[in-house]
Amino acid sequence: MAKSTWKKLLNTLQISTDYSEKPAGLQWRSNTVFIVATVAIGLFTDLFLYGLVVPILPYMLEDRVGLPPHRIQSTVSGLLAAYAGASVVFSPIAGILADRLPSRQAPFLLSLLALLGATIMLFLGTTLPVLVLSRMLQGISAAFVWTIGLALCLETVGPENLGKTIGSIFSFISVGSLCSPPLGGVLYAKTGYKGVFGIAFGVLAIDFIMRIIVIEKKIARKYEVEDPDSVSDLNTTPNHQQDGAADEERRDDEEQPLLGGKEDDEAVYQLSDKQPWIVRIIPILPCLANPRLLTAFLVAFIQALLLGSFDATIPTVAKEYFNFDSLKSGILFVPLGVFDLLLGPLFGWCVDRYGTKPVGVIGYTFLVPVLILLRLPHPGGKDQVLLYGGLLALCGVGLAGIGAPSLVEAGAIIEKYYEVNPEFFGETGPYAQLYGFNSMVFGAGMTIGPELAGELKQVIGYGNMNLVLAASCAVTAGLCFVYIGGTPRIFTRRKA
């Protein structure tokens, strides 16, 4: 009896691989909503803790490390670069490892332990090397959580539902990204380090509980079949190997909008068997020659760049224009985050229903005039605050529109490569590698965004800084029109 109870406990904690004994709560722990929520909380925790400590880094360097004032700004930039560098380096590694491991849960959980270690080191660290190491651990954790989390989402919901899923997740996590810096500033001002890291450990505890409880669908299915080894990844099987593939393709053709793209010939996706040795380790590398995939990565980079720019400039503008303290500055993030949160799932559904091209083009085009209009607010009273808040709300609408197209487009391209070259990529496909590269690009945007925006704001002013961002969105919208979703039908008809 005791042995049976012990076996059930091990299965419940997902330590044992004995599929004859079902773990407690198998049904709800492998439920689609719970899996997606666990991924969302994981991504939220990463961005939330990243932004939470950014405002207090200068004080930590001055109070704890004892750096002179003239070295603080450069050291803060170095700490941000340590996070970005670790994320950039380890994101492809995370993708390679994830595609070779039978389960996503173990590395997903280990990445949280790295984040916990980094947070403890930040809380207790009194020397610069410790702080640098903690930021590097944060970057490594980010690389794994983004790579594995997004791959787990694809396996759970399938390509046909990825748009609204990613839209919902990005809306949720962007709120954490935008609100955590002012929250960190407020907590530090009111409670000191203990308040900042108290909420950090609370979020980590919730994230840990969800990650240790969640059970992947493919793992859950092994408890339902006679031969557990026969169970493979869900929802990532090439379409030509699935039942009803012809019906699905016919439905997609019927739903193609006027702005939609014409699918490239399969020959475009055919990969040669003669590849250099590095491709055997990272099979996704030949796919990077595809302009559609590169554009999808650019879309992700610009999205992260905009988020980082808002993080860096809204608090300073609030102080310079309206003499706001850190608490009131945080309130200005509310309209930006609320509209992003509410409209993200809607735009994600539009991506699933109408395709990536129209949503990407409209989203980035919408942001162009809104960013230009951000030059209108000037120092003043209530009317100027309302004007600035209203424009930030419109920016939130635009951010909601650009969240899903990148990942859905990149996933669709890689799915096409997988369909045409199933033996080249193996049974699990290159999806985790894809999200590893996407994490690398997104992390670079989140790092460059604050630095670029802060520098431009000082050199050419806030209005002209937003003009540069608007021009970047205009270029991105044009590239979306040309490449995202395939060749535009208008070009095809002209040729005909």
Q: Is the pLDDT of residue 144 over 90?
A: no
* Averaged confidence pLDDT in the chain: 78
Q: Is the pLDDT of residue 426 over 80?
A: no
Q: Do 72 and 61 contact (CB within 8 A), yes or no?
A: yes
pLDDT in tens, 297-339: 999 899 888 987 887 788 778 878 888 765 677 677 778 777 8
Top CATH class of 26-219+289-495 equals mainly alpha
> Given pLDDT bands bounded at 50, 70 and 90, which one contains residue 205?
very high
Distances (CA, A) of 282 to 145, 287, 426, 428, 437: 19, 10, 12, 13, 11
pLDDT in tens, 435-462: 788 878 887 887 788 778 878 888 888 8
Q: What is the DSSP letter of 30?
A: T
Q: Taking residues 235-245, report their average pLDDT.
A: 47
- Specify the pLDDT at position 370: 94
Higher-confidence position of 148 and 341 = 148
Q: Is the pLDDT of residue 53 over 50?
A: yes
| Sequence-ordered strand ranges (E) for 229-339 | 261-262
> Given pLDDT bands bounded at 50, 70 and 90, which one contains residue 10?
low
Q: Give 201's contacts (C-beta < 8 A, 6+ positions apart).
A: 119
Q: Which amino acid is at 476?
A: T
Q: Can you tell me the distance from the alpha carbon of 157 to that of 151, in angstroms, rounded to the nearest whole number?
A: 10
Q: Can you tell me the distance from the alpha carbon of 199 to that of 405, in angstroms, rounded to the nearest whole number?
A: 33
- Specify the pLDDT at position 15: 55
> Given pLDDT bands bounded at 50, 70 and 90, which one contains residue 245?
very low
Q: Can you tell me the distance from the alpha carbon of 392 to that of 385, in angstroms, rounded to the nearest whole number?
A: 11
- Specify the pLDDT at position 365: 95
pLDDT in tens, 360-401: 999 999 999 999 999 998 887 888 889 998 999 999 899 888
> Given pLDDT bands bounded at 50, 70 and 90, which one contains residue 50?
confident
Q: Taking residues 171-181, report their average pLDDT.
A: 73
pTM across the whole model: 0.73
For residue 247, count CB atoms less than 10 angstroms from its CB and return exposed for 0-12, middle for 13-18, buried for 19 or more.
Answer: exposed
Q: Is the pLDDT of residue 156 over 70?
A: yes
Q: Taking residues 236-254, report their average pLDDT.
A: 44
Q: Taking residues 241-245, report their average pLDDT.
A: 44
Backbone angles phi and psi of 19, in degrees to 5: -85, 5
Q: Give 345's contacts (C-beta < 8 A, 6+ positions apart).
A: 164, 167, 168, 171
Tokens 């230009």 correspond to 372
Domain boundaries of the chain, sorted by first residue: 26-219+289-495
Q: Is the pLDDT of residue 3 over 70?
A: no
